[in-house]
Amino acid sequence: MYRKEVIEYIKEEYSTIPQYLWEKSPLDAVFKHTTNNKWYGVIMNVSKERLGLNGKENIDILNVKCPPEMIGNLRLSNGFLPAYHMNKEHWITIILDKNIESEKVKQLIDLSYELTD
């Protein structure tokens, strides 16, 4: 699943549009509940190097909230990393590319939305 698909899914499913809060990072945005303003997703474009991966090119990632008991297993799978710039006990980073099934990403977005409601 890619950035554009994530944004479209969230807009259709939760009527949420990305909020671009950082002038220095114009591609980075948060997804907030419309009722309580809690963040349930953060989409960013960061260098692989900053994520501890090989390479200097930038990639898109999505941070979502997740139950701590799921995070360990997810991090054992390709495409999942410790949360970048978020609490690593309660958030996970998903690399947005073709390697993770869209349905899995959607399920994790849905779970994050529920956990922050």
| Successive 10-residue mean pLDDT values, the chain, 117 residues | 96 97 95 95 96 95 97 93 94 94 97 96
C-alpha neighbours within 13 Å on the C-beta side of residue 17: 1
* pLDDT value of position 42: 98
Asked whether 39 and 116 are in contact (CB, 8 A), the reply is: yes
In this structure, the strands spanning 39-47 and 91-95 are unpaired
- Domains of the chain, first to last: 3-115 (3.90.1150.30)
What residues form DSSP beta bridges with 63?
A: 42, 93
* pLDDT value of position 117: 92
* pLDDT value of position 73: 92
Total count of residues recorded for the chain: 117
* pLDDT value of position 24: 93
Which positions ≥6 away from 25 have C-beta within 8 Å?
44, 45
